[in-house]
Amino acid sequence: MPICCLFIYKAPLSKSLLLVPSAISILLTLLFQHYQKFFAYNLQAVKEDFQIWRLVCGRTICLDLKDTFCSSLLIYNFRIFERRYGSRKFSSFLLGAWMLSALFDLLLVEITQYMFGITINSLPSGFLGPVFALFVPFYSSIPRVQVTQVLGHFSITNKSLVYILGLQLLTSGSYIWILALSGLISGICYNSSILKVHRILCVPRWVAKIFSWTLEPVFSSAEPTNEVRVGMGATVDIQRQQRMELLDRQIMMSQVAQMRRQRQQQGGMINWNRLFPPLRHRQNANYQDHPSEQGIPPPTEVSEEQVARLMEMGFSRGDALEALRASNNDLNVATNFLLQH
């Protein structure tokens, strides 16, 4: 089985974004240079000649191979979101971020011209706005686990390489900072629970079904034979969530190990059963006395957003609620506990 298929299992959209734009970019650079003009992100042509098609072509295919390489590596690392949330939610995020970042591109160009007198007629081409937008959920939802330290002061984490790739992509062009800023703003807007953008800019179910019938068989990969199997859930959504990338679970377990090492250095071990009574035995009357014995009053409310995040990882709502109550609404501690039990 090819290595590419092994690591992009259950992520057909990420695989298509990794292969198709990269192949077209290479062909345009090596064989069809005279067609590159159709994929240039020419803002002047969009505003003055109303060539709206340039927004589609110019914001999809990279004309610089360095940008192609960096964005492909980032999409490869961000495939975890498709495996966690499903192809429809992932494609909805990319669609919303693409549309919002196109609007913010034009707005930031006008602001730059108004404030600094700099006229920008074109921007770097490629699927860069949504790629930068993916840094928002990457920063907020992927746990940070220290891998090592350099010179005793600088920490290297599991997320350092992704940030380095983003910095490399950010410095590859003169005006690419506009694309990065518009992508980050669009990612924040789409993830905002106040603006509710995700309810408006989303892929309809019937469109998702059409693409699942036509394109998913082309870009789907066979199940790796050496991957650890997990139990099947009662619904399709739970089954999809249970097939999350093994690396994501390993990151969580590494965080638990790191917490234990820190407690060992402080002279004590983490006693999970002391902090968290078994989930199946929390309904007895004596459970209400445990928090007071530890001096930690139970929280009055549990964040529904954190409950949803735990349920997206495959845990039941009841276990998520109990873990969050016991951990005083600490999402990382609750996740670590659920993974250990």
**Do 1 and 222 contact (CB within 8 A), yes or no?**
yes
Report the DSSP pairing between strands 154-157 and 146-150. antiparallel
- CA pair distance 7, 2, nearest whole angstrom: 9
Backbone dihedral angles phi then psi of residue 284, each to the nearest 5 degrees:
-75, 165
Taking only the tens place, the pLDDT of each residue in 153-209 is 777 888 888 999 999 999 988 899 999 999 999 999 998 877 788 888 888 888 888
The helix (run of H) or strand (run of E) holding residue 42 is strand 41-42
pLDDT at res. 112: 92
- Please name the residues in contact with 282: beta carbons below 8 A apart, sequence gap of 6 or more: 322, 326
Which pLDDT score, from 0 to 100, does residue 23 have? 93
Q: What angle do CA 287, 293, 296 make, to 5 degrees?
A: 90
* Confidence (pLDDT) at 94: 94
Spatial CB neighbours of 284, under 8 Å, sequence gap ≥ 6? none
Count of positions (residues) in the chain: 341
pTM: 0.65
Closest to 140 (Cα-Cα) out of 253, 13, 306: 306
Q: What is the token pair recorded at 228?
A: 């650890």
**pLDDT of 237 over the 50 cut:** no
User: In this predicted structure, what is the pLDDT of residue 284?
Assistant: 46
Is the predicted pLDDT of residue 232 greater than 50, yes or no?
no
3-state secondary structure of 192: coil
Average the pLDDT over 73-89 and give the result. Answer: 88
Least Cα distance to 224 among 4, 3, 6, 2 occurs for 6
pLDDT of residue 300: 44
> Residue 178: how many CB atoms within 10 A of its CB?
24
Q: Looking at the predicted structure, is the pLDDT value of residue 10 above 80?
A: no
Q: Which domains does the chain have, with CATH numbers?
A: 11-141+157-219 (1.20.1540), 286-340 (1.10.8.10)
pLDDT at 213 over 90: no
